[in-house]
Structure 1
Amino acid sequence: MSIKTFAAKIFAKQVHQKNQKWIKNPIETQKKVFQQLIAAAKETQFGKDHHFSNITSFEDFTKNVPVRDYEQLKPYVERVVKGEEDILWRGKPLYLAKTSGTTSGAKYIPLTEESMPYHIQAARNAILSYINETGNADFVDGKMIFLQGSPILEDKNGVKLGRLSGIVAHFVPKYLQKNRMPSWETNCIEDWETKVNTIVDETIKEDMAVISGIPSWVQMYFEKLKEKANKPIGEIFKNFNLFIYGGVNYEPYRAKFENLIGRKVDSIELFPASEGFFAYQDSQKEKGMLLLLNAGIFYEFIKASEFYTDDPKRYTIGEVELGINYVLIISTNAGLWAYNIGDTVQFTSLKPYRIIVSGRIKHFISAFGEHVIAKEVESALQEATAGTTISVNEFTVAPQITPKEGLPYHEWFIEFENEPNDIEAFALKIDLAMRKQNVYYDDLIVGKVLRTIVISKVSKNGFQEYMKSIGKLGGQNKLPRLSDNRSIVEKLKRV
């Protein structure tokens, strides 16, 4: 055992014991975070506009601070971007994280002196939790790769601007610098395809032990590696045993990854975003990710089924229930207040509080009142492929409301790695799995409002070409699993 491995195990145990203090006192922890946030922002422009000096309870907060999304908070954010101080949080932010908005173009999310350390700490603690539980720390001596955006930052009115993953690259601890790949120069390459090809060249002869990134883009990296070396990833990197991912559900990719690698590897799921680092997988045995209640973020939850009603109830951590689909609302030490990040979550455990990401509140299909969410389509596909040789590279789902003939249906656009022998039988398996999960969808099938799903095959690399065509190839960009209209699939048909 190396000195680094030994030290990692000791440190992992210390961090685990320290975390138990807030894990075992979740409600008190969130109350303390809430009070600290309100007190810190009283003299900001937002705090004055929303009477923070008079807020002493969560009830006061809900009366004074409405739930907002980015568009609704944008007037304040624009003042921050212009360089004004004390708008959403004290002073100026350290960074502005640039993200791709769906309706507003580029979004600028502030990262402050108070919030930035939690992004780094959470990523570190996810790995330490894995070490503490499994006792496996040998990977700390191997090379680690993080597929991420360029670390080159711009200046925006005295504040550094870049992608979150590129900003985080500046905070890699010194003890990991020698192990970390790719090189700084390669990380700065903007074109994703060029970047991945260069990463393949840099890493193919290295001892990669940990690989991290969004599954769809890591898959692209693996495919290029396998093609160049003409052998499985597990033979190229004999000590590769840990995959760290976030952004999308890994389950639809798992079978393909295991085929590419040639064996199973452990994985750690993360839930990071520019707005905050919300959760990480703290156990290989339990389902869900540990919600980080002491990380400068106060959480609220609104039932997704009630979100678009007038004045929906806002729940705090002590009021949530298992299995309910909630819209995640946050207030943070970066100056986001009652902010709707767009993600929906479900609790898998209340002791401790663990969640899964179930989808996006704007990404659903409810053309006929069925309200199908991402978790359901992913689970249905996983169930349909289980125990078969069928494997899927990528997929998305959209409603077909006005078919040329017959009843309307949900159309699944799937890029297969290994196709089913009988595409209609496979479609029926998916449909049955959907009906078991979603009673509204089942009622529509039984009532002959909808017919069973139709699968449209997408050509090899079709989704990559689509993402490239809209300027979102690589980085932290993700393909929506489903949408309530056909805007994505109509473009997909043209690539």
Structure 2
Amino acid sequence: MGLKSLLSRPLAAYVHHHYQQWQQDPVGTQQRVFRQLISKARNTAFGRDHSFADIQTPADLARLVPVRDYEALAPYFNRVKAGEADVLWPGQPAYLAKTSGTTSGAKYIPLTADSIPNHISGARDALLHYVHRTGKSRFLDGKLMFLSGSPELEKVGGIHTGRLSGIVNHHVPAYLRRNQLPTYSTNIIEDWETKLDHIVEETLPADMTLISGIPPWVQMYFDKLVQLTGKPVKDIFPRFDLFVYGGVNFEPYRARLFETIGRPVDSIELFPASEGFLAFQDEPGNPGLLLLLDAGIFYEFIPAGQFFEPDAPRLTIGEVALDQQYALVLSSNAGLWGYSLGDTVRFVSLAPHRVVVSGRIKHFLSAFGEHVIGEEVEQTLREVMSRFPEVEVVEFTVAPLVSADPAGPSRHEWLVEFARPPHDAAAFAAALDAGLRRRNTYYDDLLTGSILAPPRLTSLPAGAFQRYMKSLGKLGGQNKVPRLSNDRQVAEGLTQAGEIA
């Protein structure tokens, strides 16, 4: 056992004990965070504009600070981006995390001196909880890889700016940096395919023990290794023990990823976002992610079905219930206030508070009134794949397909890139339909009433999703394809990408 592995165990016990303490009083922990946030931001421009001096309770916050997304808060973010101090949080942010936007183009999320530790300690504590729960720490003595965006930063308004994963890369503890791959020179390569070639070259001779990244991009890396060597990953990296991931649901990728590895490995799921590191899997085998209530973030939860209603309830941690869908709203020491993150979560435990990420509040399919969410289609696909063991899925998305005949019913289209297709595509499509009907009564009613027809299964050629993402300039890094959409934009882009195979 190496020195890092040995020393990690008492540290893991200490961190676990600290977490146990605040978990004993989740409501009190959140109340303390709330008071600290309001007090510190009282004299900022946002605090003055929203009467923070009058805010004593979460109900006051809900009354004085409306729920807004990035676009609605853009006037404040733009002032920060221009270099103005004391806008959303005292002083200027340490960084701006640049991420893909929607109507506003690129988004610039502030990372302050107070919020940066949340991003660093969240990932660290996830690993330490794994060490404490399992007693396994050998992975710390080998090479660790974090597939991330470029750590090269630019200055915007005098503030260092870059991708979140690249910014965090600058804060990897020195004791881990010696173990870290890829090298800086490889990490700053912007073109994903070129970068991937360099990563493979650097890691092939290395003793890789931990690999982290978004599953589809890790799969590309593994495929490249297997293609070059003719060996499964387990033979290339015999001590590869731990896979760390986040950003998308792992389940659709699990079977193929482990087949490429050649054996199962332990995994840890993280819930990071540019706006804050929100949760991690603290207990191996438990799908719930421990919500970090003591990390400078005050959470509010809006029942997903009421999110777009005026005066929708904003629940605090003591008011949530199991197995309900909630849209996440954050106020934090990054200077976010009543900020709609866009993600939906479902609580699977209240002692402690653990969630699963169930989808995006805007990424649902309700073109015909069915309001299908990401969790429902992912669960359906996973269930159907278990009944068709020959099937391996690379990636998929679901879109509405409006009938060209006004008198004929419309339907859903499942666009799937198979590594191995089903022997009976019609039976596979029928099983997808039946599984979704069981999970979503609105969808079932629409089919029962012949308003919708059974879904169409469209099999895309190999590489269609990669070509589509490349056409958008979003190949690799933290980018991902939406599972659901209410229009045909993604579906048409994928169809075109498939045609140019």
Q: Provide the rounded CA distance (Å) in 2 between the counterparts of 1:325 and 1:455.
A: 28
- Report the Cα distance in structure 2 between the residues aligned to 1:466 and 1:317, rounded to whole angstroms: 40
Q: Which residue of 1 aligns with 2:466?
A: 464
Equivalent in the alignment of 1:426? 428
AA of the residue aligned to 1:332: S
The answer on 1:144 being equivalent to 2:167 is: no
Q: SS of the residue aligned with 2:9?
A: helix
The answer for the alignment partner of 1:485 in structure 2 is 487
1:406-430 CA-to-partner distances (Å, cap 9, x unmatched) read: 4211100000001101101001111
- Matched residue, 1:449: 451
CA displacement at 1:435 relative to structure 2: 1.1
Partner of residue 399, structure 2: 398
Displacement of 1:48 after TM fit?
Answer: 0.1
The 5 Å alignment of 1:174-323 reads 174-323=174-323
Q: Distance in 2 between matches of 1:432 and 1:368?
A: 18
Counterpart-to-counterpart distance in 2, 1:483 and 1:459: 21
> Secondary structure of 2:308's match?
coil
Structure-1 separation of matches of 2:155 and 2:75:
20
Aligned-partner Cα distance in 2 for 1:461–1:437? 30
SS of residue in 1 equivalent to 2:210 = strand
**Cα distance, 1:369 vs structure 2:** 1.3
Measured in 2, the distance between the counterparts of 1:459 and 1:90 equals 52
CA shift for structure 1 position 81: 0.3
Equivalent residue for 1:414?
416
Q: Which runs of 5+ in 2 are unaligned?
A: none
Q: Residue 3 of structure 1: CA displacement? A: 2.4
Counterparts of 1:72 and 1:375 in 2: how far apart (Å)?
27
Q: Please give the alpha-carbon distance, in whole angstroms, between the structure 2 residues aligned to 1:167 and 1:2.
A: 29
Deviation at 1:186, TM superposition (A): 0.2
- Asked if 1:349 is matched to 2:354, the reply is no
Deviates more, 1:280-289 or 1:69-78: 280-289
Q: Secondary structure at the match of 2:493?
A: helix
**Deviations 1:246-301 (Å, cap 9, x if unpaired)?**
00000000001011001101110000010000000001132210000000000000
| Alpha-carbon separation, structure 2, partners of 1:242 and 1:401 | 44
CA spacing shift, 1:492–1:8, aligned 2, 3 Å: same
In the alignment, the residues of structure 1 paired with residue 219 and residue 371 of structure 2 have an alpha-carbon distance, to the nearest angstrom, of 30
> 1:18 — aligned with what?
18
Number of residue pairs aligned between Structure 1 and Structure 2 = 495
Alignment of 1:49-64 (within 5 A): 49-64=49-64
Structure 1's unaligned 5+ residue stretches are none
| 2:401 aligned partner, one-letter code | Q
> In 2, distance between residues paired with 1:3 and 1:304?
48
Match of residue 368 from structure 2: 368
Whole-angstrom distance in 2 between the partners of 1:114 and 1:319: 27
* 1: CA distance, partners of 2:132 / 2:438: 38
Q: Distance in 2 between matches of 1:403 and 1:137?
A: 59
Residues 104-123 of structure 1 mapped to structure 2, 5 A cutoff: 104-123=104-123
Secondary structure at 1:194 match in 2? helix
Using the alignment, how far apart are the partners of 2:249 and 2:68 within structure 1?
A: 26
Other structure's SS at 1:122 match: helix
In the alignment, the residues of structure 1 paired with residue 215 and residue 286 of structure 2 have an alpha-carbon distance, to the nearest angstrom, of: 21
Cα deviation per residue 1:75-132 (whole Å; 9 max; x = unaligned)?
0000000000000000000000000012211000000000001100000000001110
**Deviation (angstroms), 1:178:** 1.4
Q: Distance in 2 between matches of 1:255 and 1:368?
A: 33
**How far, CA to CA, are the matches of 2:184 and 2:386 in structure 1?**
40
Aligned residue runs from structure 1 range 34-49, under 5 A? 34-49=34-49
SS at 1:386's partner residue?
helix
Distance 1:358 1:289 in 2: 12
Q: For the residues of structure 2 that align with 1:325 and 1:429, how far apart are their CA atoms?
A: 25
Q: Which amino acid aligns with 1:395?
A: F
Partner amino acid for 2:171?
A: F
CA distance in 2, matches of 1:287, 1:172: 27
Cα distance in structure 2, aligned partners of 1:308 and 1:14: 43
Between 397-406 and 152-161, the greater mean CA deviation after superposition: 397-406
| Structure 2 Cα separation of the partners of residues 223 and 431 of structure 1 | 31
Residue 402 (structure 1) shift: 2.2
Structure 1 stretch displaced more, 281-290 or 268-277:
281-290
Partners of 1:468 and 1:446 in 2: CA distance: 40
Shift of 1:2: 2.4
Rounded to whole Å, the distance in 2 between the matches of 1:99 and 1:286 is 30
The SS at the match of 1:125 is: helix
The separation in 2 between residues aligned to 1:84 and 1:436, in whole angstroms, is 53
- In 1, the alpha carbon distance for the partners of 2:334 and 2:310 equals 28
Q: Which residue identity is paired with 1:29?
A: T
Q: Distance in 1 between matches of 2:3 and 2:174?
A: 16
SS in structure 1 of the partner of residue 113 of structure 2: coil
Q: Of 473, 476, 493, which aligns to 1:474?
A: 476
**CA distance, structure 2, for counterparts of residue 12 and residue 109 of structure 1:** 31
Distance 2:196 2:153 in 1: 20
Q: State the 1:55 CA deviation.
A: 0.8
Greater Cα offset, 37-46 or 5-14:
5-14
Per-residue deviation, residues 143-176 of structure 1 (Å, max 9, x unmatched): 1100000000001121100000000010011111
RMSD of Structure 2 on Structure 1 (CA)? 0.9
- How far apart are residue 187 of structure 1 and its match? 0.4
In structure 2, what is the Cα distance between the partners aligned to 1:323 and 1:422?
34
1:468 maps to amino acid: K
Amino acid at match of 2:219: Q
Q: Distance in 2 between matches of 1:200 and 1:319?
A: 48
Check if 1:436 corresponds to 2:443: no
Whichever residue aligns with residue 397 of structure 2, its letter is T
In structure 2, distance between residues paired with 1:60 and 1:361? 25
Aligned to 1:494: 496
Q: TM-score, normalised by structure 2?
A: 0.98
* CA deviation profile, 1:346-391 (whole Å, cap 9, x unmatched): 0010000000110001101011211101111111110001151200
SS in 2 for 1:8: helix
Offset of residue 23 of structure 1: 1.0
Q: State the distance in 2 between where 1:267 and 1:108 align.
A: 31
Tell me the distance in 2 between the aligned counterparts of 1:28 and 1:401.
50
Q: CA shift at 1:194, angstroms?
A: 0.3
> For residues 432 and 225 of structure 1, what CA distance do their matches in structure 2 show?
38
* Superposed displacement of residue 403, structure 1: 4.1
Amino acid at match of 1:440: Y
Partners of 1:476 and 1:134 lie apart in 2 by: 28
SS at structure 2 position matched to 1:346 = strand
